[in-house]
Amino acid sequence: MAGFLEALRTGSDAGRPLAASSASRAVTAARGWHRFLAEEGMTDEDPSAAVRPPQPGRRLPKALSIDEVRRLLEAAGVDDSPVSLRDRALLELLYATGARISEAVGLVVDDLDPDSGVLRLFGKGSKERIVPMGGFAWEALEAYLVRGRPVLVSRGRGVPEVFVNTLGRPLSRQSAWAVLQAAAQRADLGQDGIDRHVSPHTLRHSFATHLLAGGADVRVVQEMLGHASVTTTQIYTRVTVDHLREVYATSHPRALA
């Protein structure tokens, strides 16, 4: 069985070498088959018992650069219409707070405290946390609350949610996703344009990565993201270290032999 795994990974059986994730699925299937044979009494030995599927490497989150975020945010507000004001405020808030998309669309007006510069988010398991938000995001949010939201809310029966659709109903996660996708497409400037598959989590990744790159403590970022364990947050430190290596390699006169 160990030879089977080696053949999968190296392609020594004249096949195509498989990635760790694909090899892991194949080994898991083979282990299940051998276990079935043993349970049915069709074999006395399970050669797969001592073989463990390879663990796929943990993928690093893809963060946008600061300039790409700027372009994305600018592309969200194409005019001064209520919908554009809403879209700009939504994306500014996502990037400024690292909020999950479900947390952003679940915001109600009473969760906002502009005088203190903070807002209240409810994460997984309805766990509450208070996060600060920067001036750019508050400015965009205030513009929407004053000039955009009243117009949209008037089309419905009145709801407490901050972000509403064109019928005056709470904005759904799917609609918020579409807002981001549309802005990402408008921000595309050609070969150096933003990936069209930017997701709401991309802004969350970018928020954490940029904070750590700017010197924020990982436990502060953990609190702002609402992670139960700092281990989850530490994946972003790997992104920052990779960036530091790149800067070092291109900047230090004796970085390369």
Residues labelled as active-site residues: 100, 124, 201, 204, 227, 236
Long-range contacts of 165-169 (CB under 8 A, 24+ apart): 166/83
User: Order of strands across the sheet with 112-113?
Assistant: 112-113, 118-122, 128-132
Nearest to 76 by CA among 170, 163, 154, 151: 163
Q: Who contacts 254 (Cβ-Cβ below 8 Å, separation ≥6)?
A: none
- d(C-alpha 40, C-alpha 168), whole Å: 60
Q: What angle do CA 173, 101, 180 make, to 5 degrees?
A: 75
- Spell out the alpha helix ranges (H) of the chain: 2-10, 20-39, 66-76, 82-97, 101-105, 135-143, 149-153, 173-186, 200-213, 218-225, 230-233, 235-251
Cβ atoms of 97 and 207 closer than 8 Å: yes
Cβ atoms of 200 and 101 closer than 8 Å: yes
3-class DSSP state of 11: coil
